[in-house]
Amino acid sequence: AEELKTIEEKVKAHLSDGRFQHCLRVKDYAIKLAKENHLDEEQAALAGLVHDYAKERPAEDFLKVIDQFDLDPDLKNWNRSIWHGVVGAVMIREELGINDPAILDAVVNHTTGDGVAMSPLAKVVFMADYLETGRTFPGVEEARKITDQSLDAGVFYQLKHTLAFLADQGNPIYPKTVASYNEWARHFS
């Protein structure tokens, strides 16, 4: 419990107040989803708390870590939206001392999702980030209901809507986001 408090203080110190409050709400929603799906609540809470730890780091920090840890060099063509999960997981391991591979995997996949073999914990964090009580986008209540009935149906709902939203805005879409969507679309068709 003492260690958890230290981690929470470090997360707080690296984020704006608004972003830190989001992390606390993701933690709470992750606990709720973990309960509903008979998963480890402590693991879900910690993953939710730290998921956006790296969100406000300067680009140069991410670029340094990509080189230092030999991550996919294509990552350099992207931005903080993509880096804070994939590269952020390395920062969480190195700086917060979290070594649980399941938690690090959930952080890696929290923005793009992953294929149908995605771990239950990763699904919970992916959905908690989308559905936490501060989210107000149109359809969020429907998304919450769907996810209470089926975590998998929720994952597909989010992937479908996020992909459509990004394309509507004319944003580049990270290949893994498209690959995740394709796997779930086949799974549900």
Distance, in Å, from the CA atom of 24 to the CA atom of 6, rounded to the nearest integer, reads 14
> Which range in 44-52, 86-94, 139-147, 165-173 contacts Fe ion by CB under 5 A?
44-52
Long-range contacts of the stretch 21-26 (C-beta < 8 A, 24+): 21/134, 22/52, 22/132, 22/134, 23/48, 23/49, 23/50, 23/51, 23/52, 23/53, 24/49, 25/132, 25/133, 25/134, 26/51, 26/52, 26/125, 26/128, 26/129, 26/132
Sign of CA dihedral 97, 100, 101, 102: negative
We find the least distance from the C-beta atom of residue 2 to ligand DGI, in angstroms, to be 27
Is the CB of 3 or the CB of 183 nearer to ligand DGI? 183
- Choose from Fe ion, ligand DGI, none: what does 27 bind? Cβ within 5-8 Å by kind: none
> Which range in 29-37, 40-48, 89-97, 172-180 contacts ligand DGI by CB under 6 A?
172-180
Could you say which of 27, 45, 104, 129 contacts Fe ion (CB under 5 A)?
A: 129
- Choose from Fe ion, ligand DGI, none: what does 166 bind? Cβ within 5-8 Å by kind: ligand DGI
Q: In one letter, which amino acid is 136?
A: T
Answer whether 91's CB lies under 8 Å from 53's CB: yes
Question: Does 174 participate in binding ligand DGI (rule CB under 6 A)?
Answer: yes
Is the CB of 98 or the CB of 106 nearer to ligand DGI? 106
Could you say which of 67, 171, 185, 188 contacts ligand DGI (CB under 6 A)?
A: 171
Cβ count near 118 (within 10 Å): 20
Question: Does 110 participate in binding ligand DGI (rule CB under 6 A)?
Answer: yes
Residues making contact with ligand DGI (CB under 6 A): 52, 55, 81, 85, 110-112, 129, 162, 166, 171-174, 177
